[in-house]
């Protein structure tokens, strides 16, 4: 694989998309390729939800969620429980709380504000968190394909799930993320939409690199 060309002094790459679209895997690989720090912003919301769960608080307690978001520290993002299926559903509920999003917005923008830049993936990076990002990608795939991917992933971890249940979860999360009043899931007007339904990880990576390499020469 050819070595990447030097990036501009500051290069923020914003990657958005629905659950199981492949954006996280792609973002991590792009960050490694270009030598940039990477933040999976979904982990922030999962960490807030897990904080509430560990404290015995309700996920519907918006005040407690806002306090947990304001006090979130980076060490919480290393908890392996954040990757469990249930935490994705919990994070989707927490992410609809405006005060939580406000608290985590500053967290994400500080991460993106490093001198070299960064790669961030989530659901509102190009629209809210980093609206001036040099590159904006919106990664998507059909709900059926995303469900198949997530089913394989969870199965590899030993979680007992059915494809039908995963598809129902994904469709519910899509509807909730797209309809929330604050920072709904959508592609930024200037984002490049990359449908990965029929792409393997290497093909998606090559397509994303082509977009980034074009952007840095403009």
24 carries a ligand binding annotation: yes
| 113 annotated as belonging to a binding site for a ligand | no
Q: What is the pLDDT of residues 16-42, one digit of tens each?
A: 999 899 999 999 999 999 999 999 999
Helix residue spans in the chain (DSSP H): 23-34, 42-54, 62-70, 85-94, 98-112, 143-156, 163-179, 201-215
Q: Which CATH class is domain 11-215?
A: alpha beta
Global pTM reads 0.89
Q: What is the pLDDT of residue 176?
A: 87
pLDDT at 116: 84
Is 140 annotated as ligand-binding? no
88 assigned ligand-binding residue: no
Tell me whether residue 25 is annotated as binding.
yes
Instruction: Report the range of poorest mean pLDDT among 7-11, 50-54, 93-97, 141-145.
Output: 7-11
Pick the range with the lowest mean pLDDT from 57-71, 169-183, 188-202.
169-183
Q: Is 17 annotated as a binding residue?
A: yes
Whole-angstrom Cα distance, residue 161 to residue 57? Answer: 26
Was 147 annotated as part of a binding site? no
| Cβ atoms of residues 195 and 179 within 8 Å | no
> What contacts 88, CB < 8 A, 6 or more positions away?
19, 42, 46, 169, 173
**95 is known to lie in a ligand binding site:** no
Tell whether 18 is in a known binding site: yes
Distance in angstroms between the alpha carbons of the first and the last residue of the chain: 23
């Amino acid at each position: 694989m050819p070595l990447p060309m030097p990036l501009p002094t500051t290069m923020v790459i914003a990657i958005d998309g629905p659950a199981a679209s492949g954006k996280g895997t792609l973002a991590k690989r792009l960050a490694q390729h270009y030598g940039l720090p990477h933040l999976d912003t979904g982990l922030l919301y999962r960490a807030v939800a897990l904080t509430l769960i560990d404290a015995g608080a309700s996920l519907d307690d918006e005040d407690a969620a806002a306090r947990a978001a304001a006090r979130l520290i980076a060490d919480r993002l290393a908890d392996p429980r954040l990757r469990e299926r249930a935490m994705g559903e919990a994070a989707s509920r927490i992410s609809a709380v405006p005060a939580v999003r406000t608290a985590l917005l500053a967290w994400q923008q500080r991460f993106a504000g490093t001198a070299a830049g960064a790669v961030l993936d989530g659901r509102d990076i190009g629209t809210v968190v980093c609206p001036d990002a040099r590159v904006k990608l919106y990664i998507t795939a059909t709900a059926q394909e995303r469900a198949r991917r997530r089913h394989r992933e969870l199965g590899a971890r030993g979680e007992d799930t059915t494809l039908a249940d995963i598809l129902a979860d994904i469709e519910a999360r899509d509807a909730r993320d797209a309809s929330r009043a604050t920072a709904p899931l959508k592609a930024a007007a200037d984002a490049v939409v990359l449908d990965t339904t029929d792409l393997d990880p290497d093909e998606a990576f090559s397509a994303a690199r082509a977009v980034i390499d074009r952007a840095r020469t403009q």
